[in-house]
Amino acid sequence: MNVETPTQVDVSVIGGGPTGISACLELSKRRDLSIALFESESEIGGIPRRCRLFFGMRDLKRIYTGPAYVKKLERLILKTSVTIYTNTTVLEIIAPKDSSHRIRIKVSSPHGFFIFESLFVLLATGCFESSQGSRLIPGTRPAGVYTTGSLQDWANLRGKRPGKRAVIVGSEYIALSSVLTLIKAGISIGGLVEESEYLSSNELLARAISKYFRFPIYKKTSPIALKGYDRVEAIQLAAKEPRRSFDVACDTVILTGKFRPDSAIIDSTTIQQDPVTLAPLVGRDFMTSQPRIFAAGNILGKAKMHDVCALEGRRAARHIITRIKAFGT
C-alpha cells in the first residue's frame, strides 16, 4: 500500500467472514485477477471464530468446530494469490461517475489511511444483533447486558466468565447456541424469553435443551425493564397469559436475534437499501443498484447459517467473474 498512489485491484472483498473468504476462493480460480480482502479484525474468519459447533456441513462437506472451520478456510485462502488486509476497516466506498472509472475505497489500517481503486466490489460485512436501546427495553443501562456476539467474544475468544446467572431474550438457533456458550462458561440460566407464542427455533430441540439444563422457557412474554444500577440485578418480564409481571433475578442478560445488517458503509452511497432493514437491495446475481458493486451473506438482512452464507459468497463471485468477462478484463 502506498499513501500517495491508490492501489489498483480487480476485485475488493469487504469482510473476511465465511461469505467473503468463500467468495475470494471462487474468484481466485481466475488466476489473472488481483483480489484484495479487507477485514477489520486482527484475523479473518468472522463470527465462526467465536463459535463452537457444527460448522462446514454444506460448504466443506465435513463438520468442524467454528475455529477449526476458520483454520481450514484460512489454509485454503493462503494457497491463493488473494492479498489479505487484516486490521483494516473500509470506511467509505465512492462509486465512479461513469462506467469507465474504478470504484474508490477508503480504508483505515494501523499504518494509516489508504485508497484502493477497484473494478468490482463485494460487500460481505455480515450483521449484528440489536442492543438494549434499539429494542426499546427501558432500564438504567447497567453492566451485564450482552448480545450473543459479545458473549461469544468474552466467553469463547477471551476465556472469561462474564457473569453467574443469565436470562436469554429471544429463541432463535443463535439463542440456543448462547445456552451452550453460557453453560460452558459456568453461568447458570434463569430462563429464555420469547415474545410470541411460537419459538423461532425447533420447539422440540429447545424444550429438550431447557429440560436438560433445567431452565424455564417463558413464551408470550416480553422484557419490560432491566433492574440494577451498576450491574443487572433482575429482568422484569410481562406475560400475556395469564397477564402478570414478574422479576427473574440475574446478573447477566443475553439479547439474541433482531439482526440488523452491518451496512453503514453504504449509507453515504446511492446504493438502494431496504427501507426497513437498510440492507442493500440486490438482484438474483447479487448486484446492488450500483453497477459493479455486489453484496452477499448476512449483510443482506437476515442471520443465515454460515454455510448458506459461504455458498452465497461463491455464487456472488461467479456472477462477478461473468461480469468481469463482459467488462473485457
Name the residue nearer to ligand FAD (CB basis): 234 or 300: 300
User: What's the min distance (Å) between Cβ of 286 and ligand FAD?
Assistant: 12
Distance, CA of 194 to CA of 216 (rounded, Å): 11
User: What's the min distance (Å) between Cβ of 24 and ligand FAD?
Assistant: 11
Nearest to 212 by CA among 179, 253, 177: 179
Cβ partners under 8 Å of residue 297, min gap 6 = 15, 17, 18, 19, 20, 124, 126, 304, 309, 312, 313
User: What's the min distance (Å) between Cβ of 326 and ligand FAD?
Assistant: 26
- DSSP letters, 161-186, are ---SEEEEE--SHHHHHHHHHHHHTT
User: What's the min distance (Å) between Cβ of 66 and ligand FAD?
Assistant: 7
User: What's the min distance (Å) between Cβ of 325 and ligand FAD?
Assistant: 25
**Contacts to ligand FAD by CB under 6 A:** 14-20, 38-41, 46-48, 51, 54-55, 89-90, 124-127, 129, 148-149, 174, 177, 262, 265, 297-298, 303-306, 309
User: What's the min distance (Å) between Cβ of 283 and ligand FAD?
Assistant: 18
Nearest to 47 by CA among 169, 143, 183, 174: 174
129: β partners: 259
| C-alpha cell of residue 183 | 453453560
SS3 325: helix
Cβ partners under 8 Å of residue 289, min gap 6 = 270, 271, 272, 281
Name the residue nearer to ligand FAD (CB basis): 146 or 228: 146
Distance, CA of 12 to CA of 289 (rounded, Å): 17
Name the residue nearer to ligand FAD (CB basis): 106 or 220: 106
Question: For residue 273, what is the DSSP state?
Answer: B
User: What's the min distance (Å) between Cβ of 5 and ligand FAD?
Assistant: 21
User: What's the min distance (Å) between Cβ of 118 and ligand FAD?
Assistant: 14
Name the residue nearer to ligand FAD (CB basis): 212 or 229: 212
Name the residue nearer to ligand FAD (CB basis): 217 or 303: 303
Name the residue nearer to ligand FAD (CB basis): 192 or 234: 192
Name the residue nearer to ligand FAD (CB basis): 151 or 237: 151
Name the residue nearer to ligand FAD (CB basis): 14 or 217: 14
Distance, CA of 13 to CA of 145 (rounded, Å): 32
| C-alpha cell of residue 17 | 467472514
Distance, CA of 212 to CA of 201 (rounded, Å): 17
Distance, CA of 31 to CA of 72 (rounded, Å): 21
